[in-house]
Structure formats: C-alpha cells, structure tokens
Structure 1
Amino acid sequence: MVGRTALNKVLYVEDDADIRSIAELALRDVGGLDVSLCESGPEALSRIDDFSPDLVLLDVMMPGMDGPQTLQALQQRPQGLDVPVVFMTARLQPSEIEEYLALGAIGVIPKPFDPMTLADDIRALLTTTDAG
C-alpha cells in the first residue's frame, strides 16, 4: 500500500441512492473532494482506472457484488489496487471489522455517518495509516 496523506479524489461505491447523495454532499461540498459515485461493484471496476482515485470508499452490503467482493475484484485486477480502501457500514461487530481489515481496508466508517465530518474521518484514517 502506497503511503499518501493527500486526499483529493474518492471513488464511492454505494447502492442506496439517498445515502450516495448525502455522502456526495459530505465529501464534495463539505470536504472539498472530487467524487466519483458508483452504485455497484461492477460499475466501480469499470470506472476506477479512468478516475484514478486517491481512496476507495465501499459500502459493505450491496446486492450482487458486495463490498468485500468488490475489494477482492479490484485487488485481483492485473494492475492490482494501489490506493487505500475504507468500508462504510452499519455492521460493526468486532469480528466483522477484523474481517474488513484482513481484506486490506485501512478502516471502517460507521453508518449512519456524520455528513459534516465524513471527509475528516477519512483523512484521519489515512493519517493514522501513513503514520503506522
């Protein structure tokens, strides 16, 4: 994983349109980030190369290809995945969080999230990861 604290572009994968809209406002308008929204894992796979995000923010529970499956598919591409991944979920049992981290995520943002602090929460995870 490439250590980088600069966060400008986020690829956000979320199947729920309402949550996508709130997160877009939180990341773009409050956080000042460039955001590409995807409603499914396959859409994320098709968009990631053209968008070149600094971070991937992934919903865990999605129909078809869920967040962990999407992360594995991104990692298994010929060029791999060289940007950090953060999961966003209401599933926060310690064993579930351990599973997400074992898959390669740098952290988990709980749902419901605070739109006013979402971008800062992600930046804090990046800073912690870079320092570690």
Structure 2
Amino acid sequence: MADLKVIHAYRHLYRGLLHAVQFSKPSRYIAQAQLRTAFREEGATFDTRSIARTVRFLEAATRTSGLEHSVLKNLLMTAYFRHYHGNRTWKHVQLNVKQMKNKKDQEHVRRTAYKHYDMTVAMLNKSMGLCLR
C-alpha cells in the first residue's frame, strides 16, 4: 500500500509541475529530472502533508502568474544553470574569480556559489511545509 501512495504522490507532483510550467520544453525536463532524483534518493522520508502542500503550491502556480509561479520559474532556471551549465557560474562570480590570484580561493568560490541559495530554499520548505528542490 505504501508503494501505491508513493506512485500517486509522484504522479500528482509531476502532473502539477507540467501544468505549472505549461509544458515548456526546458522546464519540464528539468522538473522531471529533479523529481526523479528526489524519489530515488536513499533515506528519503515520505511526508503526505508536505506533498499535499506542494501540490497546492503547484496548483496556485498554475492558476496565476503570481508569486508562486515566479518562485517555481526561478527554481527551475537556477537548477538548469546549475546542472546543465555546471562550469558556468554567475557573471559577478566569474569576474571575482578571475581577479583572484590563488587557486584555492577560486575553487572555494566555485564550490560555495550556491550555498546561500540552498539555505534559502531549505528555509522556504521548512517555513511553508513544502518539499521543493
């Protein structure tokens, strides 16, 4: 029975994501990849309340192009540039890295460029009870 709940949760989230991004080509593939990795992750817990809240969040992103739609759009765009253009970073980060003489500092900036972003998404999930990536 637990497997059936997981399958239904996956389908509801995937359908909600497709409707929220209006089936646009780069966004739907990114959303699909992130959803797959989230459900295949070892040690992940299944929380029906957070999944239901996330589905409601996606439904709100589908209805209007308001705050929810903007948040989802920015999450997917950041995921695209993070994973598909991994060696490219933000323009201001690149300029600062080029100015650094030390290779250790350059690698530190490249590794920690998304740290604040990840912490912000984690706090958004915690405060709203969502399960966004």
What's the TM-score, normalizing by structure 1? 0.26
Q: If each structure's strand is expressed as a fraction of its own residues, which one has the higher value?
A: 1
What's the TM-score, normalizing by structure 2? 0.26
Larger radius of gyration: 2
Q: If each structure's helix is expressed as a fraction of its own residues, which one has the higher value?
A: 2
